[in-house]
């Protein structure tokens, strides 16, 4: 169930509210002035009559402006303009603005119509209200969309002509490169001669990339990929884009539906639009096999998709948006990853294989919920290998294509995973709880990626379990329950989800993230 978070009014939110209030008042004033001019010319030939008309319109403005302003601000707030504004991007943002302004004026128009007899002072002329609506809509669209239109319509035509860095054709932008898959992928790219630029908020700090952070062909840009100016800057001179950034996993996505939509769907659409405008053909998007939902059959890329979680829905919608944008010059590739396991620079223990192995080793208990549901699995290093394989493949082989990432032999039920862990930690107790809130169930075919790209995973689930057990035994992982190993725990416990909502200025909330992280590290060192 979606958790409702307390609204914190920031300076940036107040500024946007004041700007919107000014827009409403200016629009209404212009509309009433136009009506006054026409009214005076048509019906008020003498001075006294003109003065009466002027006073009537002043009173009309003074009565209606505060109410229309309050209603518009309330509707805008309900649409998330003051908390999620920058999460809305591109056409989706424009449609949201139009819907909010239309709803504001429709509500006010209904009020003036139905309450006409009771509240005479609300007698707003329909022509003036319509004119105010047009002015308000135009102003809102221009004020909120000008940056996007400039960067994606005018500027890209200019910046495409910028000279590329040395190593032409091997310049790669990895969005979300400090994450679970990204921290496994980036070393592969660098080791194979690619020039890598990462755009990442670094909410977990630079530690996931510590093995390559000083590499001469790595450029790290700290920034929010929801902000078009960051994306435009990051794409300067790039040949390919790998988009791994997202709120990942059902529990994390369910924390805040609007934020998830903005990050997983709105930002993806904006990033793809910028890439297309810049003439970048190869665009690799990280999706998920969760789009298949629940089905007892073996599913391939041509099978029907029926996601049953918010995470799956946002990824599927993003897939569809990319497919609609595809043409002869922009040819995205969609990778539907299996459930991932294993260690990377930013390991997660909110995934079933890693979690069960860690619990067995540290607590002597393996708890399986449900158990009969099927899942495909792939090691994080093999997931990174799949991305690299697509990147180095010719565009005619991977463009406009969807690939399931994994292998047929790693389709298992959750009970089978639990048994594998139990076989390696024989002293642990295996418990089966038949009540599972997760209804996803899918067995997936990986014939396409094997046949067309020659992709074969190097890891097995058994080897991945052993890797986790050895990491815990060797104290590489001190406490798997630490919030940094869990997407949903970190978003909640660190306060990140609150700061990410506040979109006034990158620097302010990024400093807050870094300060919070440093404080936790100090506390951990002192305990």
Q: How confident is the model at residue 505 (pLDDT cuts 50, 70, 90)?
A: very low
Compute how many other C-beta atoms are within 10 angstroms of the C-beta atom of residue 506: 17
154 and 176 assigned to the same domain: no
pLDDT at 184: 97
Q: With 60 as the cut, is the pLDDT of residue 153 above it?
A: no
200 and 141 assigned to the same domain: no
Compute how many other C-beta atoms are within 10 angstroms of the C-beta atom of residue 146: 10
pLDDT at 254: 86
Angle between helices 310-325 and 267-277 (to 10 degrees): 20
Q: How many helices (H) and strands (E) does the chain have?
A: 20, 14
Choose one of 138, 159, 180: the last residue of a domain: 159
Average pLDDT for 249-255: 86
CATH number, domain of 427, equals 3.40.50.720
Report the residue count for the chain.
527
Q: How confident is the model at residue 262 (pLDDT cuts 50, 70, 90)?
A: confident
Q: With 50 as the cut, is the pLDDT of residue 2 above it?
A: no
241 and 140 assigned to the same domain: no
pLDDT at 432: 84
Average pLDDT for 283-290: 96
Q: Between 253 and 90, name the one with better pLDDT.
A: 253
State the Cα–Cα distance between residues 283 and 526, nearest whole angstrom.
45
Choose one of 159, 192, 222: the last residue of a domain: 159
378 and 511 assigned to the same domain: yes
State the Cα–Cα distance between residues 360 and 417, nearest whole angstrom.
12
Q: Residues 360, 362, 368, CA angle at the centre, nearest 5°?
A: 30
Which is nearest to 109 in space by CA: 122, 120, 121? 122
Q: Does a structural domain hold residue 3?
A: no
pLDDT at 310: 92
Q: Does a structural domain hold residue 166?
A: no
Residues 6+ apart with CB under 8 A from 495: 512, 516
Q: With 60 as the cut, is the pLDDT of residue 155 above it?
A: no
Q: With 80 as the cut, is the pLDDT of residue 281 above it?
A: yes
Three-class SS of residue 130?
A: helix
State the Cα–Cα distance between residues 136 and 129, nearest whole angstrom.
10
Q: How confident is the model at residue 142 (pLDDT cuts 50, 70, 90)?
A: confident
Q: How confident is the model at residue 508 (pLDDT cuts 50, 70, 90)?
A: very low
Compute how many other C-beta atoms are within 10 angstroms of the C-beta atom of residue 221: 16
- Which of 94-108, 221-235, 433-447 ranks highest by mean pLDDT? 221-235
Q: With 50 as the cut, is the pLDDT of residue 53 above it?
A: yes
State the Cα–Cα distance between residues 125 and 104, nearest whole angstrom.
16
Average pLDDT for 98-124: 73
Angle between helices 47-78 and 11-43 (to 10 degrees): 150
341 and 195 assigned to the same domain: yes
Tell me which residue range forms the domain holding 64.
11-159
Q: Contact, 7 vs 83, CB < 8 A?
A: yes
State the Cα–Cα distance between residues 144 and 488, nearest whole angstrom.
31
pLDDT at 246: 92
Q: How confident is the model at residue 126 (pLDDT cuts 50, 70, 90)?
A: confident
Question: How does the average pLDDT of the chain come out, rounded?
Answer: 83
Average pLDDT for 301-309: 92
304 and 337 assigned to the same domain: yes
Q: Between 352 and 163, name the one with better pLDDT.
A: 352
Q: How many domains does the chain have?
A: 2
State the Cα–Cα distance between residues 290 and 309, nearest whole angstrom.
8
pLDDT at 156: 42
Q: Does a structural domain hold residue 16?
A: yes
pLDDT at 10: 63
Choose one of 137, 159, 181: the last residue of a domain: 159
196 and 308 assigned to the same domain: yes
State the Cα–Cα distance between residues 434 and 411, nearest whole angstrom.
20
Q: Does a structural domain hold residue 436?
A: yes
State the Cα–Cα distance between residues 154 and 278, nearest whole angstrom.
11
Q: Between 387 and 133, name the one with better pLDDT.
A: 387
Prediction pTM value? 0.67
Average pLDDT for 70-90: 70
pLDDT at 507: 36
417 and 360 assigned to the same domain: yes
Q: Between 113 and 483, name the one with better pLDDT.
A: 483
- Burial-class residue 105 by CB neighbours within 10 Å (0-12, 13-18, 19+): buried
Q: Does a structural domain hold residue 1?
A: no
153 and 214 assigned to the same domain: no
> Which position has the token pair 């998330």?
80
Alpha helices in 44-115 (DSSP H): 47-78, 90-114
Compute how many other C-beta atoms are within 10 angstroms of the C-beta atom of residue 119: 13
377 and 397 assigned to the same domain: yes
Host H or E run for residue 288: strand 282-288
Average pLDDT for 76-94: 63
199 and 82 assigned to the same domain: no
Average pLDDT for 390-418: 95
Which is nearest to 406 in space by CA: 370, 379, 433, 367? 379
Token representation of residue 190: 């660098």
Terminal-residue alpha carbon distance, the chain: 35
User: Percentage of residues in the chain with pLDDT exceeding 70?
Assistant: 80
109 and 190 assigned to the same domain: no
Q: At 305, give phi and psi (nearest 5°).
A: -115, 135
Q: Does a structural domain hold residue 63?
A: yes
Q: Does a structural domain hold residue 5?
A: no
Q: Does a structural domain hold residue 348?
A: yes
Three-class SS of residue 307?
A: coil
Pairing outcome for strands 374-379 and 411-413? antiparallel
Q: Which of 157-166, 358-367, 407-416 has the lowest mean pLDDT?
A: 157-166
Residues 6+ apart with CB under 8 A from 225: 175, 176, 199, 200, 201, 231, 234, 245, 267, 271
């Amino acid at each position: 169930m979606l958790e409702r978070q307390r609204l914190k009014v920031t300076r940036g939110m107040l500024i946007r509210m004041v700007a919107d209030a000014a827009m409403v008042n200016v629009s209404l004033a212009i509309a009433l002035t136009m009506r006054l001019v026409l009214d005076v010319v048509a019906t008020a030939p003498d001075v006294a009559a003109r003065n009466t008309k002027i006073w009537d319109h002043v009173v009309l403005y003074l009565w209606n402006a505060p109410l229309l302003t309050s209603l518009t601000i309330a509707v805008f707030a309900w649409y998330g303009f003051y908390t999620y504004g920058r999460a809305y991007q591109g056409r989706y943002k424009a449609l949201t603005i139009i819907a909010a302004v239309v709803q504001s004026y429709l509500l006010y128009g209904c009020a003036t119509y139905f309450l006409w007899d009771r509240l005479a002072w609300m007698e707003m002329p329909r022509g003036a209200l319509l004119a105010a609506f047009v002015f308000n809509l135009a102003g809102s669209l221009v004020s909120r969309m000008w940056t996007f239109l400039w960067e994606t319509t005018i500027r890209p035509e200019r910046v495409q002509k910028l000279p590329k860095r040395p190593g032409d054709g091997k310049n790669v932008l990895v969005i979300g490169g400090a994450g679970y898959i990204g921290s496994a992928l980036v070393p592969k790219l660098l080791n194979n001669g690619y020039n890598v630029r990462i755009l990442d908020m670094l909410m977990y700090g630079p530690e996931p990339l510590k093995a390559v952070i000083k590499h001469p062909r790595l450029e790290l840009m700290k920034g929010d990929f929801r902000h078009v100016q960051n994306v435009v800057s990051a794409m300067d001179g790039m040949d390919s884009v790998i988009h791994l950034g997202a709120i990942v996993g059902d529990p994390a996505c369910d924390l805040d539906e609007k934020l998830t939509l903005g990050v997983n769907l709105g930002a993806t659409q904006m990033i793809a639009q910028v890439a297309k405008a810049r003439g970048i053909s190869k665009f690799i998007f990280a999706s998920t096999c969760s789009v298949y939902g629940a089905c007892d059959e073996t599913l391939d890329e041509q099978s029907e998709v029926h996601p049953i979680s918010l995470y799956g829905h946002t990824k599927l919608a993003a897939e569809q948006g990319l497919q609609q944008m595809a043409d002869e010059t922009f040819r995205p590739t969609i990778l539907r990853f299996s459930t991932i396991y294993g260690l990377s620079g930013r390991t997660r223990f909110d995934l079933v294989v890693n979690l069960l192995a860690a619990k067995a080793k540290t607590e002597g208990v393996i708890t399986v919920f449900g158990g009969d549901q099927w899942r495909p699995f792939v090691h994080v290093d093999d997931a990174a290998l799949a991305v690299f394989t697509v990147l180095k493949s010719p565009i005619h082989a991977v463009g406009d294509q969807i690939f399931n990432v994994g292998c047929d032999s790693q389709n298992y039920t959750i009970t089978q995973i639990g048994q594998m862990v139990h076989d390696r930690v024989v002293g642990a107790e295996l418990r089966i709880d038949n009540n599972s809130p997760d209804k996803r169930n899918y067995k997936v075919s990986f014939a396409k990626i094997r046949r067309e790209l020659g992709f074969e995973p190097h890891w097995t689930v058994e080897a991945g379990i052993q890797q986790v057990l050895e990491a815990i035994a060797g104290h590489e992982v001190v406490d798997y329950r630490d919030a940094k190993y869990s997407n949903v725990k970190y978003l909640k416990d660190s306060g990140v989800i609150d700061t990410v909502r506040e979109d006034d200025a990158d620097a302010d909330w990024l400093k807050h993230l870094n300060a919070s992280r440093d404080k936790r590290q100090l506390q951990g060192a002192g305990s």
